[in-house]
Chain A
Amino acid sequence: MHISEGVLSAPVLVTGVVLAAAGVSVGLRKMDYEKIPQVAVLSSAFFVASFIHVPIGPANAHLILNGISGILLGWLCFPSILVALALQAILFQFGGITVLGINTVNMALPGVTCYYLFSRLVKRERGLLSSAAAFTCGFLAVFLSGILVALCLLFTEESFMSVAKLILLAHLPVMIIEGIITLFCVAFLARVKPELLGGIYGKGS
């Protein structure tokens, strides 16, 4: 999912930076004192998840965990993912500094989308519906990231459909695994600390 340096054209990069800056500023405005440690922990989880390689399927694909980040952090997953990506770019040259903006958007935006789509469903009393929502949340976040990456590459590689198909196919195992991870995380949190799933703005509301 990390797009390398020098692949994208300048307009795409600039759009990425602008969108990422907007997302991060919204996130920072919503970040209160109690939320900071949680953002840091999920940032580290994202940082580490990129090293967990899923050995199934045609290509090298790794976990992203943007679904669970999104559902737990909402807009705060923008700063969280930005920090992790910046460190990956500096320490390991994954992605890169110029593509930091667009990579952040590609991974954080699906998280925020899933937050709006599923947080209401996920926080309902435990049952089939909330479990299904949690699974779909993890699954869809990776799916949407794949679509966004394909969109970015639209301007550089041949056709959208072939790139999208390639990326989505490669990440299908990741989507399923992330769905399951999100499902278990949500089930666990619902049992131990249900307020956490109520979103970050009003506890349990």
Chain B
Amino acid sequence: MEKGHSIQISLVILLLASILVISSNLPALAHKVIIFAWVEGDTVFTESKFAGGKRAVGAKVQVFDKEGKQLLEGKTDNRGEFSFKIPKLTDLRIVLTAGMGHKGEWAIPESEILEARGVSEQKRSGEHSQPTPAGLSKEEIKDLIEDSLDRKLRPIVRMLTESQSKGPSVNEIVGGIGYIFGLMGVALYFKNRGKKRHRDNYND
């Protein structure tokens, strides 16, 4: 009975803690940091955030090539952003170090850079091409579409970043607590079995 008392007290503490978490609407967390990068033309843009949405300000960003050689290094600005011109055509690995053991990574494959660069090069050469009698050349139409797609997709890219940096939901947290109590059940079961066997042996 006394045992039940202490568990009750602990449960009350747990309940209070849960209420505190849920009512505070899951504020920014310090467990995880995310870097998100995309290519536009010959520039790579990156955004860095802690899980929960707080921006990683003044964090170190390093860019590595395929062989793991460091190409360049920089710091995020006060909006957690950092951009750089692509130094070399290769698979890029962008590593964010936010201090106190927090680290995030994002990879940009060579194909993505090529694609983006192809668009901007076509654009440049397109400026010199003469309009066909029909009005617009095929390339120009393609450029226009690419341009407007870029513009239209930017908010969606941003939204994806946001959703990636969301903290865990209440369901997941409650689920985690459920796992712990499930494990408790398993542990009790095995302990109990051992105890029972012991008792049986004793009775024999």
* Contact call B50/A60, Cβ cutoff below 8 A: yes
- Count class of interface residues, chain A: 35 or more
* Contact call B101/A51, Cβ cutoff below 8 A: no
* Contact call B176/A47, Cβ cutoff below 8 A: yes
Q: Which residue of B lies closest to A3 (CB)?
A: B101
Q: Which residue of A lies closest to B60 (CB)?
A: A157
Q: Which residues of B contact A167 (CB under 8 A)?
A: 100
Instruction: Give the contacting residue for B177; candidates A44, A93, A152; CB below 8 A.
Output: A44
> Could you mark each residue 162-204 of chain B with 1 if its beta carbon is under 8 Å from any beta carbon of chain A, else 0?
0000011000110111011101100110011001000000000
Assuming the contacts A2-B101, A44-B14, A84-B180, asked whether A193 and B2 have C-beta atoms less than 8 A apart, the reply is: yes
Binds A, one of B28-36, B74-82, B135-143, B146-154: B28-36
Distance (whole angstroms) from the CB of A201 to the closest CB of chain B: 16
Count the A-B residue pairs with Cβ separation under 8 angstroms: how many?
Answer: 148
| Complex Cα spacing A60 to B68, Å | 30
* Contact call B30/A36, Cβ cutoff below 8 A: no
- B133 contacts the other chain (CB 8 A): no
| Complex Cα spacing A92 to B179, Å | 14
* Contact call B101/A53, Cβ cutoff below 8 A: no
Assuming the contacts A51-B26, A60-B50, A83-B180, asked whether A33 and B188 have C-beta atoms less than 8 A apart, the reply is: yes
> Could you mark each residue 146-188 of chain A with 1 if its beta carbon is under 8 Å from any beta carbon of chain B, else 0?
0001001100010000010011001000000000000001001
Could you pull out 15 A-B pairs where Cβ atoms are within 8 angstroms?
A37-B188, A40-B183, A40-B184, A41-B7, A42-B10, A45-B13, A45-B17, A52-B21, A53-B52, A92-B168, A153-B100, A157-B99, A170-B100, A192-B5, A192-B9
